[in-house]
Structure 1
Amino acid sequence: MFLINGTWQDSLPANDRAIQFGDGCFTTARVVNGQVQMLDAHLQRLRQGCERLALTQPDWSCLAGEMKRLAQTSPLGVLKVILTRGAGGRGYSAAGCQQPARILSLSAFPGFYSQWREEGVDLTLSPVRLGRNPALAGIKHLNRLEQVLIRVHLEQTPAHEALVLDSEGWLTECCAANLFWRKGNRVFTPYVDQAGVNGIMRQHILTLLHASRWEVKEARETPEALKEADELLICNALLPVAPVRRAEGVEYASRELYEFLAPHCE
Structure 2
Amino acid sequence: MLVDGRPAGSVPLTDRGLNYGDGLFETLRLHRGAAPLLDRHLARLQAGCERLGLGWPGRALLEPEALAVAAAAPGEAVLKIVLTRGDGGRGYAPGPVAPARRIISAHPLPPGLGTPLEVGVCRTRLGSSPALQGLKHLGRLEQVLAASETAAAGWDEGLMLDAAGRVIEGTRHHVFFLRGDRLFTPPLAGLAVAGIMRAMLLEALPALGLDGGEAELRYDALHEVDAMYLGNAVAGVRAVSRLDGRPLPEPGLLDRLHRALSSLGVTWLA
TM-score range, shorter chain: over 0.9
Equivalent position of 2:264 in the other structure = none
Q: How does 1:166-185 map to 2 (within 5 A)?
A: 166-185=162-181
Equivalent position of 2:11 in the other structure = 12
Contact 1:16 1:85 in 2 (8 A): yes
C-alpha distance in structure 2 between counterparts of 1:129 and 1:25, whole Å = 22
2:185 to 186, 189, 195: 189
1:135-177 deviation digits (Å, cap 9, x = unpaired): 2111210001111101111111121000110122211000100
In the alignment, is residue 247 of structure 1 matched against residue 243 of structure 2? yes
Which is worse superposed, 80-89 or 171-180? 80-89
C-alpha distance in structure 1 between counterparts of 2:177 and 2:96, whole Å = 47
Q: Aligned residues: percent identity?
A: 36
Amino acid at match of 1:123: V
C-alpha distance in structure 1 between counterparts of 2:259 and 2:104, whole Å = 29
Contact 1:210 1:216 in 2 (8 A): no
Equivalent position of 2:28 in the other structure = 29
Equivalent position of 2:259 in the other structure = 263
Equivalent position of 2:265 in the other structure = none
Contact 1:134 1:194 in 2 (8 A): no
Where do 5+ consecutive residues of structure 2 fail to align?
Answer: 262-268
Amino acid at match of 1:107: H
Structure 1 SS opposite 2:135: coil
Amino acid at match of 1:28: T
**How far off its partner does 1:124 sit?**
0.5
In the alignment, is residue 206 of structure 1 matched against residue 205 of structure 2? no
Structure 2 SS opposite 1:261: helix
**How far off its partner does 1:89 sit?**
4.5
C-alpha distance in structure 2 between counterparts of 1:124 and 1:179, whole Å = 13
Contact 2:174 2:195 in 1 (8 A): yes
C-alpha distance in structure 1 between counterparts of 2:121 and 2:150, whole Å = 9
In the alignment, is residue 157 of structure 1 matched against residue 153 of structure 2? yes
Contact 1:180 1:189 in 2 (8 A): yes
Structure 1 SS opposite 2:238: strand
C-alpha distance in structure 2 between counterparts of 1:167 and 1:105, whole Å = 35
C-alpha distance in structure 1 between counterparts of 2:235 and 2:90, whole Å = 40
In the alignment, is residue 57 of structure 1 matched against residue 56 of structure 2? yes
TM-score (norm 1): 0.94
1:67-119 deviation digits (Å, cap 9, x = unpaired): 111111231110000001111254011024654200000011112212x2xxx
In the alignment, is residue 111 of structure 1 matched against residue 108 of structure 2? no
C-alpha distance in structure 2 between counterparts of 1:98 and 1:72, whole Å = 29
1:252–1:66 distance in 2 versus 1, CA, 3 Å: same
1:210-263 deviation digits (Å, cap 9, x = unpaired): 443111121222123321121100000011110001111222112333221012
1:262–1:64 distance in 2 versus 1, CA, 3 Å: same
Equivalent position of 2:231 in the other structure = 235
**How far off its partner does 1:59 sit?**
2.3
Amino acid at match of 2:232: N
C-alpha distance in structure 2 between counterparts of 1:42 and 1:208, whole Å = 18
Moved over 6 A (4+): none
Amino acid at match of 1:126: C
Amino acid at match of 1:142: L
Aligned residue pairs: how many?
A: 261
Q: Aligned-residue CA RMSD in angstroms?
A: 1.4
Amino acid at match of 2:44: R
**How far off its partner does 1:54 sit?**
1.3
1:98–1:40 distance in 2 versus 1, CA, 3 Å: closer
C-alpha distance in structure 2 between counterparts of 1:264 and 1:253, whole Å = 21
Contact 2:26 2:45 in 1 (8 A): yes
Equivalent position of 1:78 in the other structure = 78
C-alpha distance in structure 2 between counterparts of 1:214 and 1:250, whole Å = 25
